[in-house]
Amino acid sequence: MLQLSLSWLGLGPVAASPWLVTPTEEGMKKVTQLVATYPQGFKFWMGPTFPLLTLCHPDTIRPITSASAAVAPKDMIFYGFLKPWLGDGLLLSGGDKWSRHRRMLTPAFHFNILKPYMKIFNKSVNIMHDKWQRLASEGSARLDMFEHLSLMTLDSLQKCVFNFESNCQEKPSEYIATILELSALIEKRNQHVLVYPDFLYHLTPDGQRFLRACRLVHDFTDAVIQERRRTLPTQGIDDFLKNKAKSKTLDFIDVLLLSKDEDGKELSDEDIRAEADTFMFGGHDTTASGLSWVLYHLAQHPEYQERCRQEARELLKDREPVEIEWDDLAQLPFLTMCIKESLRLHPPVPAVSRCCTQDIVLPDGRIIPKGLRPLPLLPREHQGEVTSGFYSLLGRAQKLHWAGVRHG
Query: CA triplet 177, 185, 181: central angle to 5 degrees?
Result: 0
d(CA 82, CA 80): 5
Give the pLDDT mean for 391-406. 34
Instruction: Give the single-character DSSP code of 106.
Output: G
Could you tell me where the DSSP H helices lie in 87-144?
95-105, 111-114, 117-137
Task: Indicate the pTM of the whole model.
Answer: 0.81
Report residue 38's pLDDT band, with 50, 70 and 90 as the boundaries: confident
Other C-beta atoms lying within 10 Å of the C-beta of residue 300: 9
Give the pLDDT mean for 341-351. 86
234 vs 106: which has the higher pLDDT: 106
Q: Residue 235 has what pLDDT?
A: 57
The pLDDT of residue 200 is above 60:
yes
Q: Which helix (H) or strand (E) holds 401?
A: strand 400-402
pLDDT digits (tens, 9 = 90+) for 52-111: 777 778 888 888 888 888 888 887 777 889 999 999 998 888 888 888 999 888 888 888
10 vs 220: which has the higher pLDDT: 220
d(CA 347, CA 383): 10
The pLDDT of residue 15 is above 50:
no
Q: Residue 396 has what pLDDT?
A: 32
Please, are residues 322 and 361 in contact by the beta-carbon 8 Å criterion? no
Q: Residue 244 has what pLDDT?
A: 62
d(CA 163, CA 227): 12
| Domains present along the chain, CATH in parentheses | 17-75+353-407 (no CATH), 80-279 (1.10.630.10)
Give the pLDDT mean for 345-355. 80
Which residues lie below 8 Å from residue 175, measured CB to CB, with a gap of 6+? 158, 166, 216, 217, 220
Quick one: 365 exposed, middle or buried, by C-beta within 10 A (0-12, 13-18, 19+)? exposed
The pLDDT of residue 395 is above 60:
no
Q: Residue 111 has what pLDDT?
A: 80
Please, are residues 226 and 140 in contact by the beta-carbon 8 Å criterion? no
Q: Residue 198 has what pLDDT?
A: 93
Report residue 378's pLDDT band, with 50, 70 and 90 as the boundaries: low
The pLDDT of residue 354 is above 60:
yes
Please, are residues 91 and 101 in contact by the beta-carbon 8 Å criterion? no
Q: What is the rounded average pLDDT for all residues in the chain?
A: 80
Q: Which helix (H) or strand (E) holds 215?
A: helix 205-247
| Least confident span in 5-19, 35-49, 320-334, 360-374 | 5-19
126 vs 191: which has the higher pLDDT: 126
Q: Residue 139 has what pLDDT?
A: 84
